[in-house]
Structure 1
Amino acid sequence: MQNDLNYLDRNEFNFTPSQEVIDAINNFDIKKLAFYTRIYDKGKKSIFSEFLSELYNIDESQIILGYGAEDLLKMAVHFFLTQEDGNKTIFIPKFSWWYYKSIADEVGGKTLQYPVNEVEDTFAYDFEGIKAMIEKETPKILLVASPNNPTGNGLTSEELEKLVQMIPSTSIMLVDEAYASYVSSDISYVREMIAKYPNVVFCRTLSKFYGLPGLRWGFGFIGRNEQMDRFSKYANKYLGYDRMSEEIAIAAVKSDAHYRDIANVMEEARQMYTKEVGALPGFKVYKSIANFILIKYPIEMKEALQKEFADQSYKVKFMNEPDINTHMRITLGRREQNRLVCDVILKIAKGYQK
């Protein structure tokens, strides 16, 4: 038995950070801690926001920073659900992160779930159902997650635009893109959308693709109108942020190639699960564009699977939510981790076939 637990239930990072990140830590000039990261003479909020502005060709004033995407989502939900119009309604996907409802509850929000349907080997937002709900309820916030946790499905830029066109200009579309970097390194659609639609907020993080959940860095992009300008002032820190962690963050984003190689390992795992586990009777492997995969399994195997994973010192996420309680979500890890998880499933399934 292994001594250390292998956590494949949290969508954390089981690989090594890039050499650029390691160098940024080892070579950090400690004297820099004597100065704030806000760039006063340029009117910029921090060195990280200026870097992101230049990298993505988005005005620095339209970039927000936070303590992970978690912080950005919480600030946005709290801010927009407590406006003078009194609209406290937020729409979230039926299958989604529990955190969304939790932060809405903190300010007395009214959370409604819009339909997400299983379609063959994936999940999809029900656009007609969402439109009907918007016309009836007029939410203050339409929250969408792309890719969505735990289902792994995502939205195209055309679908995102279709959704924002459904809501009035006084409402906000809040887009959680924590896993979006696995899809593409191109975010030109973000720049185009926030230029065209001032009521859109995109939230991203360094916790998933860049594997730095312990660094706690989130960044986002917002449209521009009076309401968004007030939100920007609410969200941003006057004196800047953590100078050392900002330099590490910049190093991570600069070393995109390292993390693309890791994403390729994850793609190998997706194909392995689809080919080997997907062929088992009673199992179904869903398409995923995130760093995890969702698998439906025969519920009678749950106890045996849990025991075998525990014996191997592995943890995967067994879902308990309604309509998805016969599924497990598995973080895509290193090759040897992926192979062991696949072998555990094959072993248990084989035992039930006798």
Structure 2
Amino acid sequence: MEKNLNFLDRNEFNYSPSKEVVEALKNFDINKLCFYTRIYDEGKKSILSVFLSELYDIDETQVLLGYGGEDILKQAVHYFLTQEDGNKTMLIPKFSWWYYKSIADEVNGHTLQYPLYEDGNTFKYDFETLKDMIQKENPKILLLASPNNPTGNGLTPKELDELLAEVPSQTVVLIDEAYASFVSTDTSYIKKLVNKYPNLIISRTLSKFYGLPGLRMGFGFMSKELENFSRYSNKYLGYNRISEDIAIAALKSDAHYRNIAKLMNEDRERYEKEIGVLPGFKVYESVANFILIKYPIELKEALQKAFAEQSYKVKFMNEPDINTHLRITLGRPEQNRIVIDTIKEIASK
């Protein structure tokens, strides 16, 4: 009988949901499905948008909801790259999620990549080159990922503020913060930035830190000046009531997920300590739920075979300039132990 596969190539969640999430689903009132979720009399999107407004101390009209962060990103790219000005240029990181280019291609967008560079055992955005590209290309959208997938590097609120100050108001800045909750509990910068810059959208999700990719629930925040996009994005009759109740339960049980993030941090350190010292290997710093490892390319076939024999799937990167790297989702401690031991065994041969 075939072993169950361990998927450490998708940046999914290998732990259990919080007890609050389990209770929310178990005790869900089925009669709620008989009604739309939009709060008509108050002109609000839903109970989730109201909850997020209070949680982040941001006006409810500035809250965005979507079926996963991907939905918000796709809506924003499709909307802004099809405006009457005809500007279809979007800047994206060189090493990033393939989805960014894909959704721009769907509306005949023109994507240009701005560079990242290695600094020791981390990647960083090349801000000077990026600023030059913004001036030269006059993009309709500047897409930032913080933390970035697959490199694992993020931007501090100070770095974001300084960069946003350099971007002209006609360029929409779209920040994918799918993994940002792994970085810090302080989200006060979001309100400051969306109220300071009229061209800003920040997208988040319940899929990564809160471990609910199957829920398909994302949220975001935008400046008030982008209200036309909000009207385009909003679902007139509301959203999925079950998903909203579970999302609120997850957001209320932050301590559960902080404890899991702590376990991930400990295992990340084990990767750095045990794999980073192997000849030809390099473990990059990451502030997300995955790590990026550079390995000797001659070991690729042996590593792939060894992981397959263990019924483990990890992500071998194929893109130019990063095709000697693999990205590994941080699983449970016992899963991470198997991955580390597998790499060490192949490296020792």
Do they fold alike, i.e. is TM over 0.5? yes
Counterpart of 1:289 (choices 279, 283, 287) is 287
User: Aligned partners of 2:187 and 2:36: how far apart in 1?
Assistant: 29
Count matched residues.
Answer: 349
Deviations 1:283-308 (A, max 9, x none): 00000000000000001111110001
Give the AA of the match of 2:60.
E
Give the match's secondary structure for 2:348: helix
Give the AA of the match of 2:309.
D
User: Aligned partners of 1:25 and 1:86: how far apart in 2?
Assistant: 46
- Give 1:3's aligned residue: 3
Give the C-alpha shift of residue 170 in structure 1.
1.1
Give the C-alpha shift of residue 276 in structure 1.
0.4
Give the match's secondary structure for 1:58: coil
Q: State TM-score, norm by structure 2.
A: 0.99
- Give 1:208's aligned residue: 208
Deviations 1:36-65 (A, max 9, x none): 111122221100000000111000000010
Q: Is the 8 A contact 1:2 1:312 kept in 2?
A: no
Give the C-alpha shift of residue 166 in structure 1.
2.0
Q: Is the 8 A contact 1:202 1:220 kept in 2?
A: yes
- Give 2:348's aligned residue: 350
The gaps in structure 2 that reach 5 residues or longer are none
User: Aligned partners of 1:25 and 1:131: how far apart in 2?
Assistant: 47
Give the match's secondary structure for 2:38: coil
Give the AA of the match of 2:285.
K
Give the match's secondary structure for 1:90: strand
Give the match's secondary structure for 2:277: coil
- Give 1:276's aligned residue: 274
Deviations 1:4-50 (A, max 9, x none): 00000000010000000000000001111111111122221100000
Give the C-alpha shift of residue 158 in structure 1.
1.2
User: Aligned partners of 1:198 and 1:76: how far apart in 2?
Assistant: 15
* Aligned positions of 1:41-120 closer than 5 A: 41-120=41-120
Give the match's secondary structure for 1:315: strand
User: Aligned partners of 1:135 and 1:44: how far apart in 2?
Assistant: 38
- Give 1:164's aligned residue: 164
Q: Is the 8 A contact 1:145 1:175 kept in 2?
A: yes
* Aligned positions of 1:1-354 closer than 5 A: 3-225=3-225, 228-351=226-349
Q: Is the 8 A contact 1:286 1:295 kept in 2?
A: yes
Q: Is the 8 A contact 2:61 2:224 kept in 1?
A: no
CA RMSD of aligned residues (A): 0.9
Give the AA of the match of 1:247.
D
Give the C-alpha shift of residue 2 in structure 1.
6.8
Give the AA of the match of 1:255.
S
User: Aligned partners of 1:201 and 1:163: how far apart in 2?
Assistant: 14
User: Aligned partners of 1:170 and 1:130: how far apart in 2?
Assistant: 16
The gaps in structure 1 that reach 5 residues or longer are none
Instruction: Report percent identity of matched pairs.
Output: 70
Q: Is the 8 A contact 1:138 1:167 kept in 2?
A: no
Give the C-alpha shift of residue 85 in structure 1.
1.3
Deviations 1:61-83 (A, max 9, x none): 00010010000000000001111
User: Aligned partners of 1:244 and 1:109: how far apart in 2?
Assistant: 35
User: Aligned partners of 1:3 and 1:115: how far apart in 2?
Assistant: 41
Give the AA of the match of 1:274.
E
Deviations 1:119-149 (A, max 9, x none): 1100000010001111111101000000000
Q: Is the 8 A contact 1:33 1:243 kept in 2?
A: yes
Deviations 1:136-186 (A, max 9, x none): 111010000000000000001111112222221111000000000000122
Deviations 1:170-211 (A, max 9, x none): 110000000000001221000000010010000000000000
Give the AA of the match of 1:325.
N
Give the AA of the match of 2:273.
K
Q: Is the 8 A contact 1:38 1:44 kept in 2?
A: yes
User: Aligned partners of 1:31 and 1:274: how far apart in 2?
Assistant: 50
Give the match's secondary structure for 1:265: helix
Give the match's secondary structure for 2:155: coil
Structure 1: 4+ residue segments shifted above 4 A = none
Deviations 1:185-244 (A, max 9, x none): 22100000001001000000000000000000000000011xx11100000011111111
Give the match's secondary structure for 2:238: coil
User: Aligned partners of 1:187 and 1:259: how far apart in 2?
Assistant: 16
Give the AA of the match of 2:160.
L
